[in-house]
Structure 1
Amino acid sequence: MSDFYQNGIIANFHNLSDRTVEALETELIGFSRKRKMGLILPSLFSELEGTALTSIIDALARVPYLEEIVIGLDRADRDQFLHAREFFSRLPQHHRILWHDGPRLKAIDVELGKKGLSPTKAGKGRNVWFCAGYTLASDRTLAVALHDCDIVTYERGMLARLLYPVVHPRFSYEFCKGFYARVANGKMNGRVVRLLVGPLLRSLEHVFGQSDYLDYLNSFRYLLSGEFAMRTRVMHDMKIPGDWGLEIGLLSEIYRNYSPNHICQVEIADHYDHKHQPLAEEDGSGGLNRMSNDIIQSLYRKLATMGVNLTSDSFRVLKATYYRNALDILDFYHHDAIMNGLTFDQHSEEAAVELFMQCILDAGQAFIERPNDKPFIPSWSRVQSAFPDIMQHIYDAVEEDNKGHDV
């Protein structure tokens, strides 16, 4: 059970009464008569071979109010796609798999690429973008949720709580973000949120001054959660990054398009755990190193569009300010862990802070060296203006892949 915090600029929904999943689902069934709901699942084929996604699909098969489930499948050859069709066939809801590596969707991708409208990088952003396009083309839902496929603590109440604020007939929320405590196996997780994003947002305000945008980001309890829901129409004009900056970029788009009283967050779990990233791969790249670099650049890009003057000198000041803030906050987490009987590896925590400190400089250098980067995938409204029949092409391609034998 959480607190009843309402001190930010967006609404917070808490788990104050341990209301049953069945009670929430009964209401959602009622809402679904006029407000159809969907779910997007961005997935790698490798996740079909793990235990987390199997448990997720078993739980979703018991969800009574979903109209449609859209699965984005990456890194799958023909045999793996056919296996995926069988794997997801136990879902009783209308469901479709977007086989991104299949010939039909790749042909569409090539056509979009000829006009510079195709995502340039493979990854979650691209996966989500195509799934959003199909969801708009399908036109079956008023609201859609999205969550990852590696949640090892998944239960269907997460989805019910995520969708509830955007489909309740007396609420006017367009977007809802999930939050939770990242505690598992007797220790705190979520290093990027705890040790990078939190102290970095505080440091950005120290260096560049008060900002409504930074106040907005600071209002989110778990900024990088991959679980959110929105009215389907929101996806028409949404520009999202194709890299690890997806969550920050999405929140920035919501901030640009909607007032805070149409945005909320909801506690969806007491504890949450999923696949963990290493600090870096053996070559020093990848892992949390790459993720952090992309996230920081996403913040820099947004601040630059708001008129903030970012220079090499300011990045060095920001790095020093961040380091002091991060060490102070690290002490708070250490003491919190002691009081709750959790293990706390101070050496690895400080090593993460040192890596993130270097990422602040590296991301700044990359930002300065590549001023003409176009990090955002074009919105679907722009794509439709260039290709008026694109939605029908995507819809037909997905239908043929899912129903046909000539794949």
Structure 2
Amino acid sequence: MDYSQERITTLHDLTDPLPDAPVADSAVVVPIAGESIAAVTPEHVFESLETVGPGEIVVPLRAPAEVAEGFREWVADYAVDVTTLWCDAPALETRLERHGIGGQRGKGRDVWLGLGVAADRADYVVVHDADARTYSPAVVKRLLAPLAMEYDFVKGYYARVEDGRLYGRLVRLFIAPLLRTLEDRHDAGIVRYLSAFRYPLAGEFAFSADVARRLRAQRAWGLEIGLLGETFDAVGTDRSAQADLGVHRHDHKPVGGRGGLSGMADQVGQALFRAIEDGGIDPEYGTLPDAYRDAASRLVSQYAADAAFNGLEYDRSAEREQVEEYVSGVRPPGPDTRLPAWDETDLSSRVVLDAGRVEHSLPSDSRTD
């Protein structure tokens, strides 16, 4: 049974815990994106949230207008207080542009918008994805419980084993070997901090509302690793924790093509190296790709042994091919397009909510700050 600690406090699933947590004082942000009603209506998630009973649920929704309206009508049947923020509302984009923060849309921007609303309405903020087929009421409580102790930031971690195979490919084959390589080269707090998280790309995390308002955010797929760079500065090692959320299963992305893991690796890599450089490190980018390949090769051998030990299917060749797909992400970060901390912008959550109404017929020029 695993009860080892990392550099940050690690809270294990030793007894299938459902700990006491400040649920009533929390807002849960559930980012959802989809092109159809079926894609944006995860019944099992909202049924579970009904049993949890948080103070509020904020759903940043990226979807066509008719889908957004259908979601608003669908979610009204649940016995929970849900605020729907339509992230594709034309009035919202106009408002963000007026405040100098228009631009690229994506999961990171959606979550950032939801954080601003949630942090103004509750003492604690939980964020979790809506695509996990294994979602349970324990998720919110396990993320919130440490915030009632001495911690200001909590990250979830979990096992990614499904259909007799190891998943979590972007963490296993990209982030893990990159961080090993950086640890070998740099004795730095930011590297030690990032390496302490067992699943740094998990979309499940929680903060105090004060911390949530102090974090910059990547606009798209680099959100999770970018937030770890922010929490390192905001709360540090002693006030960060990670909580075991059990086994996690959700839909799997292809490696290539639009929306595939290779494209995600580029964005995640940009966020990682932005955090590393913010932490005072100047990586030697010219030699880093080959060092990454070597570290990934060693890990592939370790994963193969672990898979064989557990009777799981494992394709070394396919894993090594994925490593080559991800090498393009090992490069200096481009222009910094992060969204500002809510405490450092003159945008208010009230204005965001007004502009992001699903009732999208109201002209944007009739809205005022």
TM-score (norm 1): 0.83
Aligned residues of 1:179 and 1:267 also touching (Cα < 8 A): yes
Q: CA deviation at 1:50?
A: 4.1
Q: Give the aligned partner of residue 86 of structure 2.
A: 99
Equivalent position SS for 1:180: strand
Q: Give the aligned partner of residue 154 of structure 1.
A: 135
Q: CA deviation at 1:48?
A: 4.4
Q: Determine the C-alpha separation between the residues in 1 that align with 2:252 and 2:98.
A: 37
Q: Which AA in structure 1 matches 2:239?
A: H
**Structure-to-structure mapping, 1:229-240, within 5 angstroms:** 229-240=206-217
Q: Which AA in structure 1 matches 2:297?
A: L
Equivalent position SS for 1:315: coil
Equivalent position SS for 2:221: coil
Structure index of larger Rg: 1
Q: CA deviation at 1:147?
A: 0.7
Q: Determine the C-alpha separation between the residues in 1 that align with 2:169 and 2:129.
A: 18
The verdict on how the C-alpha distance between 1:230 and 1:113 changes in structure 2, with shifts beyond 3 A counting, is same
**Structure-to-structure mapping, 1:147-186, within 5 angstroms:** 147-166=128-147, 168=148, 171-186=149-164
The verdict on how the C-alpha distance between 1:321 and 1:134 changes in structure 2, with shifts beyond 3 A counting, is same
Q: CA deviation at 1:90?
A: 2.5
Q: Determine the C-alpha separation between the residues in 2 that align with 1:306 and 1:56.
A: 37
Q: Give the aligned partner of residue 73 of structure 1.
A: 61
Q: CA deviation at 1:342?
A: 0.7
Q: Determine the C-alpha separation between the residues in 1 that align with 2:134 and 2:40.
A: 11
> Does structure 1 residue 374 correspond to structure 2 residue 336?
yes
- List runs of 5+ in structure 2 lacking aligned partners: 364-369
Q: Give the aligned partner of residue 112 of structure 1.
A: 96
Aligned residues of 1:48 and 1:54 also touching (Cα < 8 A): no
**Structure-to-structure mapping, 1:113-152, within 5 angstroms:** 113-118=97-102, 120-137=103-120, 139=121, 141-152=122-133
Q: CA deviation at 1:254?
A: 0.5
Q: CA deviation at 1:308?
A: 2.9
Q: CA deviation at 1:336?
A: 0.6
> Does structure 1 residue 276 correspond to structure 2 residue 265?
no
Q: Determine the C-alpha separation between the residues in 2 that align with 1:48 and 1:266.
A: 32
Q: CA deviation at 1:161?
A: 1.1
Q: CA deviation at 1:163?
A: 1.4
Q: Give the aligned partner of residue 231 of structure 2.
A: 254
Aligned residues of 1:117 and 1:383 also touching (Cα < 8 A): no
Equivalent position SS for 2:313: coil
Equivalent position SS for 2:285: helix
Q: Which AA in structure 2 matches 1:241?
A: Q
- List runs of 5+ in structure 1 lacking aligned partners: none
Aligned residues of 2:152 and 2:207 also touching (Cα < 8 A): yes
The alignment's C-alpha RMSD in Å is: 2.2
Q: Determine the C-alpha separation between the residues in 1 that align with 2:282 and 2:26.
A: 42
Equivalent position SS for 1:316: coil
Deviations 1:341-393 (A, max 9, x none): 11112221111112122432xx34xx3xx4xx122111211222xx5xx3332
> Does structure 1 residue 86 correspond to structure 2 residue 86?
no
Deviations 1:174-210 (A, max 9, x none): 1100001110111100011111111111112334x21
Q: CA deviation at 1:41?
A: 0.6
TM-score (norm 2): 0.91
Q: CA deviation at 1:406?
A: 6.8
Q: Which AA in structure 2 matches 1:14?
A: H
Aligned residues of 2:267 and 2:329 also touching (Cα < 8 A): no
Equivalent residue pairs, number: 363
Q: Determine the C-alpha separation between the residues in 1 that align with 2:142 and 2:210.
A: 20
Q: Which AA in structure 2 matches 1:200?
A: L
Q: CA deviation at 1:340?
A: 0.6
Q: CA deviation at 1:286?
A: 4.0
Equivalent position SS for 2:76: helix
Q: Which AA in structure 1 matches 2:69?
A: L
Identify which of 10, 13, 19 aligns with 2:11: 13
The verdict on how the C-alpha distance between 1:156 and 1:357 changes in structure 2, with shifts beyond 3 A counting, is same
**Larger % of helix: which?**
1
Identify which of 274, 287, 293 aligns with 2:266: 293
Q: Which AA in structure 2 matches 1:41?
A: V
> Does structure 1 residue 323 correspond to structure 2 residue 287?
no
The verdict on how the C-alpha distance between 1:259 and 1:51 changes in structure 2, with shifts beyond 3 A counting, is closer
The verdict on how the C-alpha distance between 1:36 and 1:115 changes in structure 2, with shifts beyond 3 A counting, is closer
Q: Determine the C-alpha separation between the residues in 2 that align with 1:186 and 1:154.
A: 20
